[in-house]
Amino acid sequence: MERWQNRVAVVTGASGGIGAAVAKYLATNKLVTINLDVNIQGYDAVRAEVSPEVGKRMHCIRCDLRKEAEIKAAFKEIEKNFGPISVLVNNAGVLVNTKLLTENNTEDLLKMVETNLLAAVYCTREAFRSMKANGIDGHVFLMNSLCGHKVPIQPDINLNLYSPTKFAITALTEMYRQEFLYQNTKIKVTSISPGQTATNITKEVSVPAFDAHLSPNDIADTIIYCLQTPAHVQIHDLVIKPIGETL
């Protein structure tokens, strides 16, 4: 991880769950880590869990990831105050309690598309601009899901647009691989597809009890692994299942 020390990493939605674990792991490995999130208090609690030395490398910019203008402003602030971006982890995601056929649910549907998909597109565009302008062979991560490869048949869960947005992330990963290549860069892109993971993303939606699950630290550990691969190795799509996963 020496090549990444003192480099800038941006993580979206790092005030809890997988994002929080990723931010702590990156900062522990001596990356300057900036969280883009609206939940500043949540991130303060995350920082309180690490040593003061690690906490000094953990920063947060309030940013509504549903608003392109705020994303662009945040990346400009990061470059001005911390330097060019080397690592981007598009982690932010939501699952809203609705069904596709529910009447008058436009706001719920937009929230999922804008958070799960468009925020990743806007953030990746801004990070890529910074990486290319500064000659950085960076790494972009897209937090996917098993639901981005297979739609689970679980009528008791209101997945609505969650699986479609994650399927889009699967396609987006290949699109970025091609565009990064055609832009004559060596920037890597990796899709991370966890199985059942103990987070709060389903807090608004009732889900069946499950025994097999991953922890957020398991996912953060895989990101550190990917960052350590040689320059010529790109882990394109990484699927992680807990032992006993039924999906």
Between CA 140 and CA 136 the distance in angstroms is 12
Q: Which two tokens stand for residue 164?
A: 């479609």
CA distance to 39, 68, 120, 123, per residue, from 64 (Å): 10, 8, 13, 12
CA distance to 50, 54, 95, 192, 198, per residue, from 211 (Å): 29, 33, 21, 22, 10
Which candidate in 25, 43, 122, 162 is catalytic? 162
**Residues 12 and 119 sit within 8 Å (Cβ to Cβ):** yes
Between CA 22 and CA 225 the distance in angstroms is 12
φ/ψ of 142, rounded to 5, equals -120, 115
Q: Is 162 known to be catalytic? A: yes
CB-count exposure of residue 184 (10 Å: 0-12, 13-18, 19+): exposed
Between CA 127 and CA 124 the distance in angstroms is 5
- Hunting for tokens 């990493």 — which residue is that? 9
Instruction: Catalogue the active-site residues.
Output: 162
